[in-house]
Structure formats: structure tokens, C-alpha cells
Structure 1
């Protein structure tokens, strides 16, 4: 099978669907159809449940699992990726729509939704045109772990009232917790029973029959329970009438663009982050790897198209993509099968969906949202670096205490602060030589016999040195010089990827100060970019060839050649 490329030999853009259709093999048809139908059994119930999280009618979830999926199948570069909405997107959309349509009327909500989804699609498409695929890397993994855990806490808290059959006006985190606690004496026993049975079915199937479509089975049991046992007469609330077929086209409300734009940007970032992560996680060898900018375009246009049909913001989902892949999906045809099942459900099964208990949907949301809380990841982060665990916990607290919109801003700010912290304090290692070799390594208690050279200080800074950290690096170097009183300071710059102008100017000034103290500065191992900068500066003219070396071994040889006879063998340990 040929590897697909994103361009023609002549350089023009190729339509992705033509790539996988051209390579399609007959024996892939059966696994693609089975995988698409199996994924639909997971995707559709969850999409409807996530629509309720956003405060929208359940049929919006079906719309989201239809047209965006079709558009992505034609334009996306990931073969197994399954596209609809997710818990993260749903809770962000909920916060956005609550602000844009505070009265909660259906027409007002759907107009705001069309505006939000179109904005998300437009932003993703524009990002693709500007080739901004790298932006998804701006949120670090620890911060994303904390953010998703916070989203899970908010979703569970949001769905618990439906699981208990209680009602109260929503407020802050602590307000909602208190309202749930005080509302427990007034809960509906029948509603709790439905929710508990649904949770039990989901957990049992996931544990004992992991390949079975647990959400579909749970939803079918809920609908069956309403029909067979008349649960409505016991106070169990159901979804109610669901319209058959497509919704009428709802035009976006231009007056909401300014207020929804910041939220749309957050949703677009999360949609793309989840999409690219899911696509990469389930790509097999021999398949084209998901291409960031093409994924941006595919998801962007999927949202633009979905907005016309009344769908929620969409993106790739890890769970449904895993189901699609493990069920045997070979190409995007599996996604078209899933979309076809969604279409059939909209046209034929709407009356049955109306019998679904709210407690059943709440149970589906809670069970799958709790999966966003991953204690193992928190433990892994803590084992590597406690500072990054703090970042994860700050992101979690930001979402829980401030709300999802403010929480994602906290997550982004924490990521940028983490990046700033890491780059503002680069390490500067003192080097010694391993006995009997030409290997130089940082001073360590594990290697007390490594050779040092009296009067020669070998230092290795690491990372990019620029205006924000140059002074810190200089301070570390000055401290080491004051402690050791060398005659020559060697800066090994092999691990320095870039030397910004401000840093180079400070290095030039430092060389002048050292020279006045009868201390010489030598540079070693400059990569081509840094070497060119130094050579084109006054520092390069001052050092010349005699004080710049290819590697540390040559620098040490030059040092030893300058020492009086009989003193070189006295390298200290």
C-alpha cells in the first residue's frame, strides 16, 4: 500500500478521500462496516448525553454525530478517527450557551449554538490556512491532565441532580454541592434506582464484555424500563418528544459573535488538541500519520458544515476512536457507516429516543466523564517532578472553583508560566573528565574520581540563552568563578541551541570584565548557528581562532600545552 501524501507531485492539494479510496482493498469492506456500526452504538448514546450536558435537546447529539463525521471522512487524514462531541467540549459549550442564552429558550439556544459552532469551525479553518497546527502543543500534558480532571468534577456535579431526581438553580461549585446535599432528603427513589441500574450495567459490561456497546445496551434498557414498567408514573423524568428528521436551518446570530468568540477559541483549541491526540494514538504502521494542519482544516470545515445542521462543536474522541479501531476499522469508510447509522436513527428511531430517562443519560455521562480523572497520571507526574504536579492541580482547581471558561484560561496561563519558568532558569553544569577517557560529564557524587583541572573551569549551559534568562545564566557562571578562582573559563555550548542578541552582548561584556581580572574566556562546541553569530560579533573578533575550539578534548589539550613542564599530570579528583 502506498503512503498517502498531502500534495500532488506538482505540489497541488490532494483531496484526502481520493487517497484512501484509491488505496481501498475489497477485504477491508466487512471490517469497516462492522467497526462503523459498532462505533455508532457507542457514539450516538454518548453524543445525546453530552447534548444534555450543554443544556441542548438530545437530537442535537445525533446531528453532531452525522454531518461533521461525514465531512471529516472526506477531508481528514486519520483513518480510524471518529468525530462527534466530547465531555470537554460539551461542558465548555454549556458555559458559553448559558451566557449567550440566559433565558434558555429553545430557539434562543439553537441560534446561539449555530453561532458558536460556526465560530469554532471558522477559527479552526483560519488556523489551518495560517498553518498554526503547532498551537495545540501550547498546553502541557500535566496541565491538560488537571484541566480534564476538573472538567470531570464539574460534569459529575452537573449531572448528579438528574441522577437523584432533584431540582435547584445552578450556581457556583460550593453552592451546587450544598444544594445537592440538602436536596438528598427530597430525592426520587425511582430515579435513583434507574440511574444506579444504568451505572451498574455500564460498569459490568465495560469490565466483563469490553467489546460490547455498553452505552447502547444501557440506553435500550432505560427505554425498555419506561415502556414495560411505566416508570413515568413513579416520577422518572424522560427526554420527551424528539422530532424526526433534520432540524430546520438556524442562522447564526451576528450580535453574539463578540461575546462567544473567546469561548469559541477555547473550544477550538480543545477540539483540535483532542482530535490530533486521538488520531496519533491509534495510527498504525503503514498508515499516513495525522497531519496537524490538515486536521485543523478537516475539523474546521466539519464544524462549519455542522453549524448549518444545528450540531454542537465537534472533534475527534479518544474513546470512540478506540472502539472504531479495535472493532476493525481500516479506513474512513467506517466513519461514513457510523454517520449512516446516525442518519437512520434521526429518521426512524426518534419516537423511541423520547422515552429515554434523563437519569439514564446522566449515568452515561457520569460513567464516561469519571474516566477523565486519571490518578495514575497524577502519580506519574508527581514521580517525575512535583512542580508539574502543582501545575496540574492548579488547572484542576481553576476549572472547579472558577468555572470551565476561566479554568481553561488558567490552564493556558499555567502552561505559559511553566514554559517561562523552564526557560528562565537553564542549568549550568560544571564538567569533569572520566579517568582514562575523553568523556566529560557533570560533577556528580556518583563519580568522585572524575578529573578536574586546577585553574581551568569547564562549564556547560543548556538550552536557548536569550534576554529572559541571560542574566540568570551569567549569575550562575559568576558564582562558580568566585568559588573556584580559575585562570581560564571554558563555556561548552554544544547544548545551547540559540544565542539571542541580548545574551551575546552580555557574553561580550562578561569577557571584557574577566579579561580585566586576568581570566580568559574560551568557547567550545558552538553549533553552526551560534558560531555564525559569534563570528559576526565583536566577541568573535576578540576570541579569534585561538580561543574557540571544536570540542572539550582540544580545549583541554590547549590548556595543558600552556602549563609549565611537570604540572599537567597533577589533575585533581
Structure 2
């Protein structure tokens, strides 16, 4: 595999000053990348194109929409994106969200209406991403926590499996809510078409075995190619196996959005834009190597927004960076965005020359591709890892999963965001407060623990360590914790170590000032230690600073303890100077 450039590599001076509006990666392109990019682009095409065809059928769109999705977004992102190896078309998550959106806005409609609705949806997603780029909202992707995203994707996997199961069985089901669909499928099992079931079973087994034992082989391409041959030789359509049907050759005609649909689609598009950006940034960061540019969030917003906008005008589905196809691209040796251009070129060739070969593909085979590449979204190992680290976050993941399954994928986005924000609010509103002791014969202070029974404490002294930002939403909780600890210890002096507090609000300062007065009335003295310069300045400007004076504020906890031992306990060790 060609080596990547070292971090210190700089582009030639003439390239940096070029007036030609070329992509940055093209200005810095190295000749030894050509082989890797060519092989990676061809390999990725073998995965991207069959998946895109399957995702188009998942959304109820004509299968050629998958080819358009593998061409336009891929090409646009390669020219404007910042990740060298990101492969951009549609993804499993975005495909199922598109399916739900079209089912809501155009239920029972023909393909013309669905294509118009898809164009409107894609334009809205693209426009929202580009507007977010102008407003520099790249940080918004961080508002969905990793556990919640794990649960959301697992829910998507469950929904996709149930959605595609009728195609594997060769039955037709009037779709509704999740549990309604499950019941209709169970009722329809006796009507399953045996040839379709056989084709689906063979495709599933082949995909699983190829992925398991020959992971470098493009399993979807091989399975789809074999399905085309079998369909023609055995005339599967005559045996009752549904096939893709006629696929028009050539480039798509431009398709304009319909303003009348904007009012219905914009909330859905907003959630899809967030998911598109989140998946894109996550995949781009995950596969960036040392020495390669790290994807820039706001530039990624613009690139994916433009890719969606242009793609939608030419029949493509809403898209983003896909983890699976990006992994294939990286493993195959991609060195730059040129690999994506190769993939787009193969999709273009398929549009112009290979459309007659797409028609005989059995729908059951495309459904099998969707299921096999979607099942990875449900990862029990991730759930187990989350539960091992923190059970509450495991609950959040389960809530996100249930939100997608019970209330639907589109509402599931809202559930995921709300759960993430609720989780953040919970963490911020309930920060820990530790009781400290000193490791014997050291200057190391640590939380009191049964594991360290010999740590030092001193009569009448309680040392406390709150952590995090102290502000109006959590100050009451922190205050109650501190008062409970004081009531339990009945100290003469309380030292609050603020080294773990990076900011403190006026409300918190007022609470500390009020508490200081109440403690002083009970004969308990409050000291503060280890404040950073910003917190110290805030305290000094507040009534709390006036009440404490410089003699009750210390540079660090060791100094405060030393002062307590000499001034209060009367020990003869050296006394540290107060702040």
C-alpha cells in the first residue's frame, strides 16, 4: 500500500498559490497514490453500487436511483470534502429514514410522485447542511452521545429486517406501524413463494460466508452477478420471483423539488441532515490515518450539503458518508479522494452501458444485501461494553432503540436527540462531591475509600472536592451533598478543593456565600483551595470573597492542610503562607 505523507509534508509553493479553483487534495496529489486509488475505487464500486441499488428498492424508488446516488454525491464530495477516504452515497440509516419520509408524504403513490418527493427531501437536506456550514454549526454533531447512537442504529437494524422480510418470503404486505408489520408478516408466512425463499436463502448464505471467510472479496457484487446469471438461465421471474424490471439507460433528467411538500418534509429533513452529518464526520474521523488531514466539521457540512443538493436535482437519494463502504475503500488502499472519483466513474458506466443487466436482479437478492449489511448496525458487543462501563448509559441506548422501533425511525431521531440532551443534563446537574484524605507520607490527596484505610485525616477537618462546572442547574444539588457530608462529619473546618471546578456562576457563588454565613453561625469555618485564575477572580469579586478574605483562600490543598495543622491543631510543622 502506498505510504501516506508525514504530518510535516507541505504542498509545493506554486500549488498553494495556484489561482485555479482545484480541490486541495488534487493540488497536493502524489503520483505514487494512483495505483492505490484506482484499485480502491474499483473495489468500493463493487460494494457501493449493489448496496445503492438495494437501498433504492428499500425506499420504494426505481432501482436506477441507486446508480444516481452512487454517482452524483460521490463525485461532488470528492471535489469539496476534506476526508481523503470517505465514500459518500446513501447509508443504511439514511435509506430507512428516506423510506419512512416517503411513506409519510406520498403513501401509495407511483414512482413519479415518489421521485418528486425524494428530490424535495434531498434538496432540503442539502440546503440545511449548507446553511449549517455557513452558521458554523459543526459542533452540533456532538449532541448525540455514542451510547444513544448505538441504540438508534440498533433500532434501525431491527426496523430494516422487518421491512425487508416480506421480500425474502415473496409476500406482499400492506405496511403500517412496526408491530402491525410483524403481525402481517407472521400471517403471510403460509403464502410465501418457495422459489423466492430459496433464492433469498442462497443469497443470504453466500453473503455471510463470503464476508466471513473471504472478507476482501466484494461479496455484494459476486452475489448480484450470480443472481443475474441465474435469473436469466432459470427464468426466475416466470417462477414467481419478483425482479427489478426495466431500467432506463443514460443520464437522468433534472428533477425540481415541489415547494408544496416543503412544509411537510422540513422536520424530517432536519433530522436526516443531522444523521447524515453525524455519520459522515464519524466515518471520516474513524478512518483518518496519522499524517492525513482530519475532517473539518464545517467544511464537511458544506461538502455533504452540496452533494445532497446536486444529487437530489438528478434523482439521487439523500446521502452521507458510509462506514462500511469507507472501510472497504481504506482497506483496498485508497490514498485520496481520487478513489471516490473512480467509484463514481464506474457508477456512470453502469448508468450508460450496464442497465440491461440490472433488470433481471431478483428483489429478494437486493433485500438480502440490505439485511446482511444492516445487521451489523445491531452490535451486542457494543451494548455489553456500554453496560460494563456505565449502566445508566446502557439504559439510554435501550431507550433510543425502543424509540426507533416503537414510535418510528423519524420520531426515533427526536428520541435519540432528547435522550442525549437529557443524559447531558443529568450528568451536568448531578456532579460528584468527594470526601478527601491524604495518602500517608505523600502530598497526594484522593477520595476516601475502603481500599485505602490508612490514608490520613485530621480531627475537626473535612476536605471536599466537587468536580465540573458549578452553575444554576446543579448548584442546589451540590449544596445539598456538601451539607449532608458536613452534617455527617460535624467538622470544625471545611476545606473545599476547587481544582476540579473550571467555572463557577453567580448563582453558585451566592449559594456558597449564604452557606458560609450559615456555617459560621454554627461555628464551622469554610476555606477554599486550588482555584484556577478565572475562578479565583470571580470569587474575589463576589461577596464570598469579601467574607473569606485572603487568609481563607489557599494556592493548593496541601498548603491549606498545613495551615490548619499549625494554626488550629497547634502542630509544629512548617506553616504554608495563605493566598
Decide: shared fold, TM above 0.5: yes
14 and 319 in structure 1: CA distance in 2 versus 1, 3 angstrom threshold: farther
1:385 is aligned to 390
How many residues are matched? 567
Cα distance change on mapping 1:70 and 1:159 into 2, 3 Å: same
Q: In the alignment, does 2:188 pair up with 1:183? A: yes
Of 337, 345, 367 in structure 2, the residue corresponding to residue 340 of structure 1 is: 345
Task: Quote how far apart the aligned CAs of 1:19 are.
Answer: 2.2
Alpha-carbon distance in 1 for matches of 2:564, 2:337? 64
Q: Distance in 1 between matches of 2:254 and 2:523?
A: 80
Aligned position for 2:287: 282
Aligned to 2:33, which of 14, 28, 35?
28
Does residue 109 in structure 1 map to residue 146 in structure 2? Answer: no
Aligned-partner Cα distance in 2 for 1:22–1:497: 43
CA distances 1:490-542 after superposition (whole Å, capped 9, x unpaired)? 11011011111211111111111112122111111111221121111121122
C-alpha displacement of 1:15: 9.2
Once the two structures are superposed, residues 431-460 of structure 1 have per-residue CA deviations (whole angstroms, 9 ceiling, x without a partner) of: 001111111100000000101111111000
1:22 deviates by 2.3
SS of residue matched to 1:311: coil
Question: CA separation in 1, counterparts of 2:455 and 2:285?
Answer: 44
The counterpart of 1:264, out of the listed 269, 293, 300, is 269
Shift of the alpha carbon at 1:45?
0.3
Q: Distance in 1 between matches of 2:107 and 2:192?
A: 27
Q: 1:511 to 1:152 in 2, by over 3 A?
A: same
- Counterpart check, 1:552 vs 2:552: no
- How far 1:5 sits from its partner (Å)? 9.5
SS at match of 2:377: coil
Query: Cα–Cα, structure 1 residues 393 and 13, in superposed 2: closer, same or farther, change >3 Å?
Result: farther
Secondary structure of the 2:527 match is: strand
1:508 to 509, 513, 523: 513
Per the normalisation by structure 1, the TM-score is 0.96
Match of 1:371, SS? helix
Map of 1:435-514 to 2, 5 A cutoff? 435-514=440-519
Instruction: Please say if residues 74 and 341 of structure 2, whose CA atoms lie closer than 8 Å, have aligned partners that are also in contact.
Output: yes
Task: Verify the 8 A CA contact 2:529 2:560 in the aligned structure 1.
Answer: yes
Q: Residue deviations 1:123-168, cap 9 Å, x none?
A: 1111111111111111111111111010000001000000100012
Separation of aligned partners in 2, 1:123 and 1:97 = 18
| 1:548 to 1:154, Cα distance in 2 relative to 1, 3 A | same
Cα distance in 2, alignment partners of residues 519 and 474 from structure 1: 15
1:281 CA displacement = 0.9
Measured in 2, the distance between the counterparts of 1:369 and 1:258 equals: 31
2:77 paired with 1:72 = yes
CA-CA distance at 1:104 after TM superposition: 1.8
Equivalent position of 2:215 in the other structure: 210
Superposed displacement of residue 247, structure 1: 2.0
What is the correspondence of 1:226-375 to structure 2 with a 5 Å cutoff?
226-375=231-380
Partner of residue 577, structure 2 = none
Are residue 417 (structure 1) and residue 422 (structure 2) matched? yes
* Corresponding residue number in structure 2 for 1:52: 57
Q: Work out whether 1:157 is the aligned partner of 2:162.
A: yes
Determine helix, strand or coil for the equivalent of 1:103. Answer: coil
Partner of 2:93: 88
Structure 1 residue 191 displacement after superposition:
0.4
Partners of 1:162 and 1:359 within 8 A in 2: yes
Change in CA separation of 1:16 and 1:418 when aligned onto 2, cut-off 3 Å: farther
What is aligned with 1:408? 413
Q: In structure 2, do the counterparts of structure 1 residues 14 and 511 end up closer, same or farther at CA, with 3 Å as the change threshold?
A: farther
Residue 118 of structure 1 deviates from its aligned partner by 0.6
Give, in whole Å, the separation in 1 of the partners of 2:89 and 2:520. 65
Instruction: Measure how far apart 1:564 and its partner are.
Output: 5.0
Runs of 4+ in 1 over 3 A off after TM superposition: 1-6, 11-18, 564-569
Identify the match of residue 172 of structure 2 among 160, 167, 181: 167
Provide the C-alpha distance between the structure 2 equivalents of 1:420 and 1:197, rounded to a whole number of angstroms. Answer: 49
SS across alignment from 1:460: strand
Structure 1 contact 151–399 (Cα < 8 Å) conserved: yes
SS at match of 1:331: coil
Structure 1 residues 228 and 471, CA, compared in 2 at 3 Å: closer, same or farther?
A: same
Where 1:37 maps in the other structure, the secondary structure is helix
Distance 1:522 1:34 in 2: 67
Does the C-alpha gap of structure 1 residues 525 and 14 become closer, same or farther in structure 2, counting only changes over 3 Å? farther
- Compared CA separation, residues 300 and 566, structure 1 to 2 (3 A): closer
Q: What is the distance in 1 between the residues matched to 2:247 and 2:178?
A: 31
Deviations 1:292-350 (A, max 9, x none): 11111111111111111111111000110011111111010000000000000001111
Structure 1 segment 117-156 matched on structure 2, within 5 A: 117-156=122-161
Describe the superposition over 1:26-65 as per-residue Cα deviations: whole angstroms up to 9, x where unpaired. Answer: 1211111111011000000001101111111111111111
Structure 1: 5+ residue runs without aligned partners?
none
Does the CA-based 8 Å contact 2:565-2:571 persist in structure 1? no
Using the TM superposition, give the Cα deviation of residue 89 of structure 1 relative to its aligned residue in structure 2, in angstroms: 0.2
Structure 2: gaps of 5 or more residues: 575-579
CA distance in structure 2 between the partners assigned to 1:35 and 1:543 by the alignment: 67
3-state SS of paired residue (2:23): helix
CA shift at 1:18, angstroms?
3.5
1:407, CA displacement in angstroms?
A: 1.3
Q: Describe the shift of the 1:564–1:362 C-alpha distance in structure 2 as closer, same or farther (beyond 3 A).
A: closer
**CA distance in structure 2 between the partners assigned to 1:370 and 1:408 by the alignment:** 19
Deviations 1:85-110 (A, max 9, x none): 01100111111111111232112111
